[in-house]
Amino acid sequence: MSILGAIFAGLIGTVVISIVMAMAPKMGMPKMDIVGMLGTMFSETGNRTLGWLMHLMMGVVFALVYAFLWSVGVVSLSWLTGLLFGVVHWLIVGLMMAVIPMMHVGIRSGRVAAPGLYMTNSGGAMAFMGGLVGHMVFGLVVALVYAAFV
C-alpha cells in the first residue's frame, strides 16, 4: 500500500468532485455546497477555510480506506472497483446526512438547511443522483491516480 499515493489520490479526487459540485447547478442539478455545510458545522457564521480542510481531509481518509482494501485484496485495483467504492461511499455518506443535524451548529440554529437523507431535502432525486454520480467520479479518480503509485 502506498500511503503517499493514497493521500495524493484522495486530494485529487476531492478537488475533482468539488469541481463537479461547483458545475452541478449549471447542468440543472441542485446546488451542492458541502464545503459551506462543513464550514458551518462548528460556527453559525461559518468558515469556508475550515470547510475546505475538512472536505479535503475526508477525501484523504476515504482514499486511504480504498487503498487499504485494494492492498489486502478485498478487490483488485481497477477503475471498476473505484466506481464501486464510490457507490458504497455514497451509500454511507448519504445516510450520515440524515443525522448530521444532531452535531451541526448551523443547522441547529436554523441558519443552514438540513440536507436530509441522501441530501434529498436539498433537491430531491436530483440531489440523490448528483451525490451518487459525484462519489462515483471520486472513486474513479482515486483508483486511476492511486494506480499510478502502485
DSSP structural state of residue 122: G
| Rounded (5°) CA angle 101-115-139 | 110
- Is the pTM of the predicted complex or chain greater than 0.85? yes
144 contacts 83 by C-beta, under 8 angstroms: no
Domain that holds residue 72: 3-147
The residue written with cell numbers 475533482 in the block is 16
The per-residue pLDDT for 123 is 86
pLDDT digits (tens, 9 = 90+) for 89-121: 999 999 999 998 888 998 888 888 889 898 888
Q: What are phi and psi of 21, to 5 degrees?
A: -65, -35
For residue 33, give the C-alpha cell: 455546497
DSSP structural state of residue 27: G
The per-residue pLDDT for 27 is 87
Q: Which residues contact 108 (CB under 8 A, 6 or more apart)?
A: 101
Q: Total structural domains in the chain?
A: 1
pLDDT digits (tens, 9 = 90+) for 9-60: 999 999 999 999 999 999 888 888 889 889 999 887 889 999 999 999 999 9
pLDDT digits (tens, 9 = 90+) for 60-96: 999 999 999 999 999 999 999 999 999 999 999 999 9
Say yes or no to pLDDT of 143 above 90: yes
Give CA–CA dist 121/55, Å, rounded: 21
